[in-house]
Amino acid sequence: MSDTITLDIDAPDDWHVHLRDDEMLDAVAPFTAEAFRHALIMPNLVPPVTSTALAVAYRDRILAAAGPNARADFTPMMALYLNDQLETADLLAGATDGVVFGAKFYPAGATTNSAAGGTSLLDYRGTLEAMAGAGIPLLVHAESTDPEVDIFDREAVFIEQQMVPVIEQIPELRVTVEHISTRAGLEIVRDHPQVGGSITPHHLTCDRSDLLANGMRPELYCKPVINSREERIAIATAATSGDRSFFFGTDSAPHPLSKKEAATVAAGIFNAPYALEVVAELFHEWGALDKLEAFVSHHGVDHYGLERAATKVRLTRRPDCEGDPAQSVCTAGGAEVRIFGADAARRWTWEPIR
């Protein structure tokens, strides 16, 4: 019989989140704004966020949707979508103005709303060199779109074919391998000091048997797809190790049930409401709660050269499962979105303390 655990940590950040727009934005933004200080906002709207002007307007809509319980220091960090529409001068000006934080590369067709993405990272060499010079980070969805490559090998193939050349040819560029799903992702991060890696709650806690073994569970379908048990254990080992190259990014990606329970299922897991609870329970199971703060609150800001938080959050774990956490949220128009991680929310709660 274990006791109640209380843990005070510096305010955490979410270094990868999809907030969408319109009614969906209104329904989901408050969860992120209440829990996280920085939220790195993905630009894969339709049409995508490819200019500073679009990013400013989107940031305003996010702040308007953040709700009455948003953290006072909640800060949407805006990324531009790296494609042929993006103008390097506009990206640099947006960064100088403090509006644009980074640029995100999606291989066209790899995932939800990536149709406007690129074919090859090195096609954007001029922009990447300018970003390196200005200290603007490159955020990468690392997944090959080659239909001949098995879905579970696509992260490794993309890294070898596209990321290694960029990292070696432009070594001053700060790069993030987002939502790491395999050892290939862990390795490229470990091998290069300028490369960081974000890790999601679902890649930390689920493997493809959870997705496929006991009835197919579309709510666990995301990109990059959840991989093998061995990969999951390697990812959890990295996250709980205290290695400063790895940090938290939820990849919370809401879709209405009509898109998640369909003949062709949309990729994306909505985890923002219980993301902290899920990662806290994983670190508890791994006997690594002493490393949780570094993973969720320090390594990301350190990688991006930002100040650590001056405020704290208190996490509490109760030994007995309690309560009945909501399993879904609804948009104003009545679309239901399932929430990942309710089990962890039966044990863990959190509140801002300063």
Site for ligand DOR contains 18 (CB under 6 A) = yes
CB 143 → ligand DOR: shortest distance, Å?
Answer: 8
**Catalytic status, residue 251:** yes
Say how far apart CA 290 and CA 280 lie, in whole Å: 10
Site for Zn ion contains 251 (CB under 5 A) = yes
H/E element, 128: helix 125-134
Site for Zn ion contains 26 (CB under 5 A) = no
Closer to ligand DOR by CB, 222 or 342: give it: 222
Site for Zn ion contains 14 (CB under 5 A) = no
How many C-beta neighbours within 10 Å does residue 230 have?
11
Q: CB of 219 within 8 A of CB of 338?
A: yes
Given 27, 175, 180, 253, the residue binding ligand DOR (CB under 6 A): 253
CB 141 → ligand DOR: shortest distance, Å?
Answer: 5
CB 17 → ligand DOR: shortest distance, Å?
Answer: 10
Give the footprint of ligand DOR on residues 112-151 (CB under 6 A). Answer: 112-113, 141
Which partner from the list ligand DOR, Zn ion, none does 347 bind, CB cut-off 5 to 8 Å by kind? none
CB 223 → Zn ion: shortest distance, Å?
Answer: 8
Site for ligand DOR contains 240 (CB under 6 A) = no
Which partner from the list Zn ion, ligand DOR, none does 300 bind, CB cut-off 5 to 8 Å by kind? none
Q: CB of 335 within 8 A of CB of 258?
A: yes
Sheet holding 312-317, edge to edge: 5-10, 312-317, 348-352
Which partner from the list ligand DOR, Zn ion, none does 112 bind, CB cut-off 5 to 8 Å by kind? ligand DOR
CB 265 → ligand DOR: shortest distance, Å?
Answer: 10
Return the exposure string of 319-349: e unless at least 16 CB atoms fall within 10 Å of the residue's CB, then b.
eeeeeebeeebebeeebebbbbbbebbbbbb
Written as six digits, the tokens of 33 are 């704004």
Site for ligand DOR contains 303 (CB under 6 A) = no
Q: Which stretch binds ligand DOR (CB under 6 A): 73-81, 107-115, 202-210, 301-309?
A: 107-115
Closer to Zn ion by CB, 179 or 317: give it: 179
Integer angstrom CA distances of residue 152 from 5, 31, 110, 207, 208: 37, 31, 13, 11, 10
Say how far apart CA 348 and CA 305 lie, in whole Å: 30
Say how far apart CA 354 and CA 350 lie, in whole Å: 13
List all residues 6 or more positions away from 117 whose beta carbon is below 8 Å from its beta carbon.
Answer: 81, 82, 83, 105, 106, 107, 108, 109, 110, 141
Chain residue whose CB lies nearest ligand DOR: 268
Closer to ligand DOR by CB, 223 or 303: give it: 223
CB 17 → Zn ion: shortest distance, Å?
Answer: 8
Say how far apart CA 68 and CA 80 lie, in whole Å: 27
Q: CB of 80 within 8 A of CB of 100?
A: yes
Which residues are tagged catalytic? Answer: 251
Binding site for ligand DOR (CB under 6 A): 18, 44, 111-113, 141, 222-223, 253, 267-268
